[in-house]
Amino acid sequence: MRDFTHDHSALALNTATLGHNLDGFGAGWSPEQVIDACAERGYGGITFWRRELAGRAADIGARTRAAGLQVVGLCRTPFLTGSLALPDDRAIMTDFYRSIDEAAALETGVLTIVTGGPEPGTKGVIESQKILADRVARAADYAAERNVKLALEPLNPATAGNRTCIMTAADALNVCDAVGAANVGIAIDVYHVWWDTTLAETLSQRAKGRILGYHLCDWLADTADVLLDRGMMGDGVADLKALRAAVESAGYTGLCEVEIFSANNWWQHAPEEVLDTIVERFRSYC
């Protein structure tokens, strides 16, 4: 397992951590300000959200790389299933392809998929996982031709009413198997899988070479809101070192991306303070 105690070159920022993915939050920094602040602090990379690109994906990607940082990924595809998805297959796939184009313009290797929940008119998640696999399969070649990998991110079951139909690494790998494309893998986010006592076994047995991203935060003991009350690493109950060991047992050597949605705490702090705190917590807790 890598030792981060004196080295945070594997640390990446997901810009959601500065509140940029939701209207009305964040300090209003431009992508350029975020890039410079991360570079100054020795971060290894940044993951952006589509809303920040605003038609400037190629410029922002080039600027990030010129600052010595990796463009780790892009968040995210539209919901591909469920009640929050666009109204029909054609609209969903059109926006799915557009998100792949944006990832390609940014020249990032990874586009994250947040799947969406159970399809209206169905119960449970099995039927929705089949629809999901079909839609991902139809876009996989298009993404591969543009050097984009698609990362299926399982989400915490508490969000499964409308945001996800895959809740465990095993669910995500099952959908990968159904899709059967070399550029489709999974992303592991501490917030979503910290509770899963079968995770290490699943990853070591089934996920070799298929983990495309690792997302850091913490699960607060008294979580007030499952979407917007994520904890800073070290403030919660997740066993962060054990989780990273599980991810690395599957061969993951990529960056570790801090993704903290925290409307009432971290999004209220100055970005400089958040970025400094992340470096310190990464070295001591992750």
CB 274, min distance to Zn ion, A:
17
Which of 119, 114, 122 minimizes the C-alpha distance to 87? Answer: 119
The one among 119, 189, 229, 235 contacting Zn ion by CB under 5 A: 189
> How far is the CA of 46 from the CAs of 36, 40, 146, 199, 278, in angstroms?
11, 13, 20, 26, 13
**259 lies in the binding site for Zn ion (CB under 5 A):** yes
Kindly write down the DSSP assignment for every residue of 134-177, as one continuous string: HHHHHHHHHHHHTT-EEEE----GGGTTTT-S--SHHHHHHHHH
Number of residues that bind Zn ion (CB under 5 A): 3
Q: Please list every residue from 6 through 65 that binds Zn ion, using CB under 5 A.
A: none
Looking at the Cβ atoms of 93 and 226, the one nearer to Zn ion is 226
Q: Residue 218: left (phi > 0), alpha (psi -120 to 50), or beta?
A: beta
CB 259, min distance to Zn ion, A:
5
> How far is the CA of 25 from the CAs of 18, 38, 152, 211, in angstroms?
8, 19, 26, 30
The one among 210, 215, 230, 244 contacting Zn ion by CB under 5 A: 215
Looking at the Cβ atoms of 20 and 215, the one nearer to Zn ion is 215
x/- mask, Zn ion, residues 117-136, rule CB under 5 A, reads --------------------
CB 21, min distance to Zn ion, A:
11
CB 157, min distance to Zn ion, A:
15
| Single-letter code of the amino acid located at 46 | I
**171 lies in the binding site for Zn ion (CB under 5 A):** no
**257 lies in the binding site for Zn ion (CB under 5 A):** no
Task: Report the SS3 class of residue 283.
Answer: helix
Please report, as ranges, the residues that interact with Zn ion according to CB under 5 A: 189, 215, 259
